[in-house]
Structure 1
Amino acid sequence: MLKTMIRAAAITTLVAAGSLAVAPAALAQDTAQSGDMPMVGGAAMDPQKTIVENASAADNLTTLVAAVKAAGLAEPLSGDGPFTVFAPTNAAFEKLPAGTVDELLKPENKDKLASILTYHVVPAAATSSAAMQMIKDEGGAHTATTVEGSPITLKMDGENLVIIDESGNGAVVTQADVMQSNGVVHVIDTVLMPKM
């Protein structure tokens, strides 16, 4: 069901208001121009590899990768996309109350974990410059619907791109525009939470 939802969301036309949208041609152009590969967690991020392949190599994304696998999302997030993923680091997961991650990784909490993870995914590909332009065009805030179905709000805090969840908590993009074969990853410092 979740796999179908992600695939269906990814092929939906995203030109309506409230969606992050960058044309696939622009994504390919950005990828082709990124001659050198950015480093995330000590690993080179190959723009010819998928989000899951690259994240699996990053030392600072091991908790995220374990959660993606536990939620059964590795295969869908390896699909064609395009996806924009706001990827919380291990340190971001460590900010959660003690025991939260262990609880979420239990098989009986698979659906809840999947909801939290898909709340970090927008079914489109948007670079930080595209996101910042949308924020500017919309008077200081841009709302995007996640694959989970709930909205996130993008704002600027000085020069920082910030993602606000439904509870009003913010995550700062600490590394932007890590291009992948099926989208783009923006590394963030806080786990976003949908209302549940």
Structure 2
Amino acid sequence: MRRRTARLLTATALTAAAFSGPVAGAVAGAVAPVPLAEGDFAPLEVWPKSAAPGATVTVNTTACGPGGHADGDATTVGGGRFRLVPGTHEEVVVGQFQIARGTRPGTYDIGATCADGEYATGDLVVVERQGPQGRVRTGVGGGTTTAADPPKIAAGAAVLAAAAAGGTWLLRRRASGTQG
């Protein structure tokens, strides 16, 4: 029971870190926004910078100013439009979207338009989805598992059945021998 609680707490902490990590990183390195020349775009931080189709991506920017908000555009990767709202630090707006499953590998522009008209842009690199190969950590039990192999499963079941039958036979034999 103690192990299960520890895993649950670890998973909760990792989830919280995943959602606060990009914001914390952006704020740690953030300085007051530099005024942009006409036609320039503010940076839109994209995290992770590269991801496979199906992944959730977080973006943030300081372009909107304290307490601002923005409308994001990830239609280039099938993520549609999304909202950026003030994060933990009021000068940073944050939003998320998901890369569509059919998106092809490549570099895509992601944009955000602030309520005050400022525009921020960043690049997202979509990589090919890699299926699990070899052993996979499942988070259940202490070891690893591999893909199901029906012949091995059948052989294991036969061994267990034989052991159960043999054990039953020995117990009956022993029981009948002690009574006689």
Name whichever structure is richer in helix by fraction: 1
Report the TM-score when normalising by structure 1. 0.25
Larger radius of gyration: 2
Report the TM-score when normalising by structure 2. 0.27
Larger RCO (alpha carbons 8 Å, 6+ apart) = 1
